[in-house]
Amino acid sequence: MHLPDPRAVKRVGIIGAGTIGASWAAHFLARGMDVQFWDPGPGSESRVPRFVADAWPALEKLGLAPGADPARLRYCDDVQSALGDVQFVQESAPEDKALKLALYESFDAALPEDVVLASSTSGLLLSELQARRSGRARYVLGHPFNPPHLIPLVEVLGGRETAPEAVDWALDFYNAHGKTAIRLKKEVPGHLVNRLQAAIWREAIDAVVSGVASVEDVDKAIAYGPGLRWALMGPHQIFHLAGGPGGMRNFLEHFGPNIENWWRDMRDVTLTPEVKATLIAGVDDESAGRSVEVLAAERDERLLDLLDMLKRAR
């Protein structure tokens, strides 16, 4: 398999340009690339450039690559045109297996032989999406963390029929262009990061419905507690430090039994109508009248400050 130098990619195709795809487009433009996109949604021709324009000031603060220009974005009338003359494809169609399978069927033959296609799917199994495709050896998972133009993380994984060199190439590509890519060793529904989030959220929901704390206080517990440490290092290393000079070995010996007791006390959670209503009401109270758009803007502004701090701390 002959693949281009991942550091020399100049033109990227975006298939599906909703919230995630448009954010990917903004990221690649900020890295100095040409981006051509296709999305069947009404108004996408104007919506995606508008998203990029709104995101551009934040990207300028993070630092633009030489030649970065939002004007290097081009709308394509059909999916085949969006694949023309590209060196990488990021697919971000809706999280619907049947829809993705039909989409892949429509463009598989048009995918250039030396181009890797990465799917942004947040939970579908790549092996099921790539099956029977002519380009299946070059299909990889490239799952971002929302919003992709700000948060560096990308999960990379190959399906059963992905060539190992395609996975290596994707890791090199993302890491060479402003991302922090991690290699997943096996397929599981939801991949890694969403499963970690789901596990924490399950306990956060149970804390609310069982009366331990309110929605707002549960959120504060994470944001002003472990969330601050997690921005700096992961849970294994955090607990390694908690073990003092003895590190993880000492932590496991001293705290392991108690943690196992906590695990046994944790319960499964079902999103019944009553639980949903409790969560919705709690988030509404916590939001204090601020719209989703306002909250997202607050999140992004704080993310910029955090990313700047982490960059300076390297």
Within the chain, which residue ranges are assigned CATH 3.40.50.720? 6-183
Structure confidence by residue, pLDDT tens digits, 191-236: 999 999 999 999 999 999 999 999 999 999 999 999 999 999 999 9
Structure confidence by residue, pLDDT tens digits, 83-97: 999 999 999 999 999
On whether the 193-312 domain is CATH 1.10.1040.10, my answer is: yes
Top-tier CATH class for 6-183: alpha beta
What does pTM read for this prediction? 0.94
For position 95, what pLDDT does the model report?
Answer: 94
Torsion of CA 147, 42, 12, 95, to 10 degrees: 50
How far apart, in whole angstroms, are the C-alpha atoms of residue 192 and residue 214?
Answer: 28
Residues of the chain with pLDDT under 50: none
Within the chain, which residue ranges are assigned CATH 1.10.1040.10? 193-312
